[in-house]
Amino acid sequence: MAVRAAVLPAVGAPLEITEIDLPAPGPGQVRVRLAAAGVCHSDLSLSDGTMRVPVPAVLGHEGAGTVVAVGEGVGLAPGAGVVLNWAPSCGSCHPCTLGEVWLCVNALAGAAQVYARTTDGTELYPGLNVAAFAEETVVPASCVLPLPDGVPLTDAALLGCAVLTGYGAVHHSARVRAGETVAVFGVGGVGLATLQAARIAGASAIVAVDVSPEKEELARAAGATEYVVASERTARDVRALTGGQGVDVAVECVGRAVTIRTAWESTRRGGRTTVVGIGGKDQQVTFNALELFHWGRTLSGCVYGNSDPAKDLPVLADHIRAGRFDLGALVTERITLEDIPQAFDNMLAGKGARALITF
């Protein structure tokens, strides 16, 4: 059956909106009709080659939808609402046996397998496993999670990346404690989720930092108590807002060397800096040995929020149902497949937060 999809024909090439042929789900597979898919900065990084996937591919890794059909051995029924999980854990590799499922070495094995074809027979790969930039997709059963009760299906797409990443950065990686101060660098979809998570954690002061003055209202609605427009004075400005000490925790959601360095400098002596943003290999961050000793700060990476989606989605659903977490507040634009290139351009220009494709 043919469905419309956004195909990346080659690294750096424009996306092509075209029809593709999806096979019926085989054993252990699920066919999902997408309700919505978020446009994440990682999709842009995949399209321009910052991150590598086999091509041609259908990108999109943040989505939710309805089960259309299942293959043999799948315990889901057609009509069930699901959230796509782009990084399923195998359960048997070394990180998985340590309980670090977000570091599973086999998580992206599916991205190297042909999953569909164009109408002229060209083989297609599912970018980051789930190929959510399409009306429908076929994925392994491990790539779907039941839609939590009380969570709107369309906005639930955001749970698949932005929300798990931002929430996990605060609660799993940085382990923010009530009363601590937090700075969040980058007010995109992940940044807004991080701000909300810091508020839920009970942070006493939450500083949002972004290059765009226009994002202040979004940031404050998400929980920011202070807003700093990024400049060469950013670290000093953040320290000034915290009695000259710096914040207890800084979360970097941009993935640029200068932003990572600034986040680190904005953190108090003995504080923690968590890097969520995905940067290119050319983004080199440098430190000297004396400052590492003197400041005693911790700098850590964070993959997918260091989250276990199966365990974290029910917790997030409780926050959503109780009104503590607002999914809709992350969305600044609702678009169609044809609008994805413009959404990429807006990201590069620092405009808006999360664009959500609705089908």
As averages over each run of 10 residues, the pLDDT of the chain (359 residues) reads 93 94 96 97 89 93 97 95 96 97 96 95 95 98 95 96 97 98 97 98 98 96 98 97 97 96 98 95 94 96 96 96 96 96 91 93
- CATH T-level topology, domain 2-160+326-358: Quinone Oxidoreductase; Chain A, domain 1 (3.90.180)
Tokens standing for 326? 């607002």
pLDDT of residue 352: 87
CATH class of 166-303: alpha beta
The interaxial angle of helices 41-48 and 340-348, nearest 10 deg, is 100
Half-sphere exposure of 84 (CA within 13 A, CB side): 39
Contact 249, 260 (CB under 8 A): no
Which residues of the chain are in CATH 3.40.50.720 domains? Answer: 166-303
pLDDT of residue 51: 85
Amino acid making up residue 201: A
pLDDT of residue 102: 97
Q: Which of 180, 168, 104, 102 is nearest to 315 (CA)?
A: 168
Phi first, then psi: give them for residue 223, nearest 5 degrees: 130, -5
Q: Give the Cα separation of 185 and 209 in Å (integer).
A: 5
pLDDT of residue 178: 98
Contact 110, 6 (CB under 8 A): no
Q: Give the Cα separation of 40 and 157 in Å (integer).
A: 11
Amino acid making up residue 286: T
Burial of 166-175, coded b for 16+ CB within 10 Å and e otherwise, reads bbbbbbbbbe
pLDDT of residue 228: 98
Q: Which of 326, 334, 336 is nearest to 352 (CA)?
A: 334
pLDDT of residue 52: 86
pLDDT of residue 349: 87
Which residues of the chain are in CATH 3.90.180.10 domains? Answer: 2-160+326-358
Phi-psi region of 127 (alpha: psi -120 to 50; beta: other; left: phi over 0): beta
Q: Give the Cα separation of 271 and 250 in Å (integer).
A: 8
Tokens standing for 16? 């092509």
Amino acid making up residue 292: L
